[in-house]
Structure 1
Amino acid sequence: MLLDPDAENDVAYELCQIVGRAILPYRSSVDDEQVHGTAFFFQGGDDPVGESLLTAANLVGAAGGELGLRASVTEPAGVAPAAVSATEIVPGWARFPGDGVAVLPTAGLHRYAGDGGWRWRVQPVPAGIAAGPEVVARLGADADSAFVLAHGVREDGSRPLEVAIERVVRDGDDVRITTELPPGYVGAPVFVVQADTAGEVSLYCLGLVLPGVGGHPVATFDRIRAVLPATPGDV
């Protein structure tokens, strides 16, 4: 669904309220260069064991992987560190390069927080809005409004939470954001608004941003869901 600018701004604002605390900055090092991206919490069901952190596979597994923390995602105030090294979390990332996705079961993150005397205060993207195949199928060559929640990279190195309002199209199995996004957006969740066959309008998390030039492929949630059961968890 292609929305008018006022409606797009309304959706962007609501997304920040609903899932703003699901989104975290991620940083790694590849060939001695800093690579910045975004990761987000996803709640796969009512069971806490189903909670995962998701990002793009190319961001993880490299030396220096680090998850940034904002004051709003932890409590009590002033106790959590500014960042969590990926090497501190067990089990670690599971990479699925064929799908472009990396998954981190969050049991290790919660244990790390508990050992440090703090706890997470996040708003995971809920399973109920994760796009199914029917949502993906409704996309086509005509552009739809897309909303990307990410931690961009400012000139001073800060990583503010941002919303990019973009366009998404589908060509066969290929779902793409049509423009190249700023640094820090790879791995971020992509949201769309659609009307179903009954005319009911709903918000969906389409998937996550993958690396690209001149645009970005989207790893859609039908692909992401396929790897979640195989992810080595900590139960």
Structure 2
Amino acid sequence: MLLDSDSESDVAYELCQVVGRAILPYRSGDAFGTAFFFQDGDDPVGESLLTAADLVGASGGELGLRASVTEPAGVAPAVVSEAEIVPGWARFPGDGVAVLPTGGLHRYAGDGGWRWRVQPVPAGIAAGPEVVARLGADAGSAFVLALGVREDGSRPLEVAIERVVRDADAVRITTELPPGYVGAPVFIVQPDATGEVSLYCLGLVLPGVDGHPVATFDRIRAVLPVTPGDV
């Protein structure tokens, strides 16, 4: 669904309010990306951190901790090394996705005297196969909520308003995104079966040239049940 510019601005603003604290900066070596919290149902064990598989695997990976996602203020460290988190990332290169069950993140926070204050992307807006199937060759509005990379090394929260298309089974963002956007969640709006326009999280950004494939949530959901559970 292609929106007018005013409506796109409204959706971008609303996303920052509703799921702005789902987003974390991720870095592995010289590669910068974005990860985000996803809550699969009401059970806390169903919470995961998601990003692109290509970002994960090199030694020295670390998550940045934005001040807005931890409490009390001034207690959490600036970064968390992924080597300190158990269970760690599960990679699914065929789907382009990496999944980190968040039990280890919550234990790490508790041991350090702080806690997470996040807004996970809820399962209720994750795009199902019927949402993906309604995409077509005509470009629709897409909203990428990410942590960009500034020249001074800062990672501000940004919303890129882009275009998304589907060609057969491939879903793509049609333009190349700035550094830091790989792994970030992609949102769209679409009329549901009753004609009411609803917001959906389509999936996450994968690496690409002159555009980016999107790992859609029907693929992501297929790997969530086989990721390591909370231990």
Deviation at 1:85, TM superposition (A): 0.4
Give SS of 1:141's match. Answer: coil
Separation in 2 of the partners of 1:84 and 1:61? 15
CA deviations 1:93-149 (Å, max 9, x no partner) are 000000000000000000000000000000000000000000000100000000000
Deviation at 1:17, TM superposition (A): 0.2
* Aligned residue-pair number: 228
Alignment TM-score, normalising by the size of structure 2: 0.98
Deviation at 1:231, TM superposition (A): 0.1
Separation in 2 of the partners of 1:138 and 1:56? 24
Separation in 1 of the partners of 2:127 and 2:155? 27
CA deviations 1:197-217 (Å, max 9, x no partner) are 321110000000000000000
State percent identity of aligned pairs: 90
Separation in 2 of the partners of 1:5 and 1:234? 43
Separation in 2 of the partners of 1:10 and 1:139? 22
Separation in 2 of the partners of 1:28 and 1:210? 15
Separation in 2 of the partners of 1:155 and 1:198? 46
CA deviations 1:210-234 (Å, max 9, x no partner) are 0000000000000000000000112
Separation in 1 of the partners of 2:170 and 2:190? 18
Give SS of 1:166's match. Answer: strand
Separation in 2 of the partners of 1:12 and 1:127? 19
Separation in 2 of the partners of 1:16 and 1:197? 26
Which residue of structure 2 aligns with residue 190 of structure 1? 186
Separation in 2 of the partners of 1:201 and 1:151? 27
The one of 202, 221, 229 equivalent to 1:206 is: 202
Which residue of structure 1 aligns with residue 25 of structure 2? 25
Separation in 1 of the partners of 2:178 and 2:56? 19
Separation in 1 of the partners of 2:198 and 2:136? 18
Runs of 4+ in 1 over 4 A off after TM superposition: none
Deviation at 1:63, TM superposition (A): 1.1
1:129 equivalent to 2:103? Answer: no
The one of 101, 106, 113 equivalent to 1:105 is: 101
Separation in 2 of the partners of 1:71 and 1:211? 28
Alignment TM-score, normalising by the size of structure 1: 0.96
CA deviations 1:2-33 (Å, max 9, x no partner) are 0000000000000000000000100001xxxx
Matches within 5 A, 1:162-181: 162-181=158-177
Separation in 1 of the partners of 2:35 and 2:75? 22
Separation in 2 of the partners of 1:27 and 1:81? 15
Which residue of structure 2 aligns with residue 232 of structure 1? 228
Which residue of structure 2 aligns with residue 34 of structure 1? none
Separation in 2 of the partners of 1:62 and 1:110? 23
Structure 2 residue runs of 5 or longer lacking an equivalent are none
CA deviations 1:171-205 (Å, max 9, x no partner) are 11100000000000000000000012321110000
Structure 1 residue runs of 5 or longer lacking an equivalent are 30-36
Separation in 2 of the partners of 1:17 and 1:217? 26
Separation in 1 of the partners of 2:182 and 2:165? 18
Separation in 1 of the partners of 2:135 and 2:182? 21
